[in-house]
Amino acid sequence: MKKYHLYLITCMLLILTSVKAQETFEHRVREIADKIEKITKQEKEALKIEVEAVNEELKKGTLTELQADEKKLKLAEQRAKQITEKVSVLEKEITLLVQEKVDGKINDEKHHEKHSFTFSGMKSKEDKIESKRKKSSTTSQFVFAFGLNNLMTDNSVQHSDYRYWGSHFYEFGVTGNKRLFKNDNLLHLKYGLSLMYNNLRPNNDQYFIENGKQTILTTNSIDLQESRFKNVNLVAPIHLEFDFSGNKRKSDAHKFKTHESFRIGLGGFMGTNLKTKQILTYRDLADNKVTEKTKGDFNVNDFIYGLSAYMGYEETSLYIKYDLNPLFKSNVVDQNNVSLGIRFDLN
């Protein structure tokens, strides 16, 4: 099974580049991904502290329940804005990285210079024109998405065992955006590589246990301050995008404007589960705060595939994704992951 995982990941990376450039690209993407994850975690922790302060004001009676809810919502919006602003700082770096990927420039630069210097500056005029045309039909974006996450049972999320507002997802990745027609800007093929973090927070002090090939929820005997089930997936999304920016060109005669109007993307994704973790936080008998982190298989499906779509204006879209295969391999009742949120495609 581990060999199968490696084979699958390699196939997905081939969507963007050759195998020769795979490790370099993945390493650089991972570095940027780690920075984004750190930013998100810091802002989330800061928001948690702010919300706790609001709860204290509510207890003291200095705020009404309505005022407290409004203040929490405002704080959440501010933190989401800060996440977007901080992540946008990495935009140039990730955009350059993807463009290098698309152009096939990611390689061992010293090795390339050592063995290719005799050809420097010797491209013909026709080669340069053709290279320019290839570049102009493809752009690149950094993708960041976040929102609500849950499990669908019998095609519904009603009466879910998981918190609606507490269960969430994050996705960040890179995409190539290729115009499909030479003189028309409507249809684009978007393909890329993303890391998806799907989180579930069970209700009523419940947590997951493995019972043979079954993974079930059970109620803990003590009060759980935190119960979170986290899956990290590496996926290759592909979408057919309808971009209504029109056929206006930029100063470069070969470049059409994109992401300047209404957009619709329809497609799906496939990939593999990289990590599954359960986090439990509670107070022990001595009133010490205890956090347990358990990494394991939890009978989660190794292979992930599903449908996704987005609709929005310019860089911001409403985003939905649905796993076609169930989260757990052999449970009696199939439960499929579904997510709804906001997506940013940053040029």
Helix axis angle for 65-88 and 22-60, nearest 10°, is: 160
Among 73-77, 152-156, 288-292, name the one with the lowest average pLDDT.
73-77
Among 65-69, 209-213, 289-293, 332-336, name the one with the lowest average pLDDT.
65-69
Q: Do residues 188 and 177 lie in contact, with contact meaning Cβ atoms separated by under 8 Å?
A: yes
Percent of the chain scored above 90 by pLDDT?
A: 35
* Local confidence band at 29 (pLDDT 50, 70, 90 cut-offs): low
Question: Could you read off the pLDDT of 218-250 as tens digits, one per residue?
Answer: 998 888 989 999 999 999 999 999 988 777 665
Q: Is 25 exposed, middle or buried (0-12, 13-18, 19+ CB in 10 A)?
A: buried
- Would the pLDDT of 196 be above 90? yes
The conformation of residue 320, written as its DSSP 8-state character, comes to E
- Would the pLDDT of 59 be above 60? yes
pLDDT at residue 199, rounded to an integer: 95
pLDDT at residue 320, rounded to an integer: 96
Q: Do residues 317 and 135 lie in contact, with contact meaning Cβ atoms separated by under 8 Å?
A: no
Identity (one letter) of the amino acid at 126?
Answer: E
Question: Could you read off the pLDDT of 80-126 as tens digits, one per residue?
Answer: 777 767 776 666 666 666 666 555 565 544 334 433 333 344 444 44
Among 178-192, 213-227, 328-342, name the one with the lowest average pLDDT.
178-192
Structural domain boundaries in the chain: 2-346
Contacts 24+ apart (CB under 8 A), 74-78: 75/47, 75/50, 75/51, 76/47
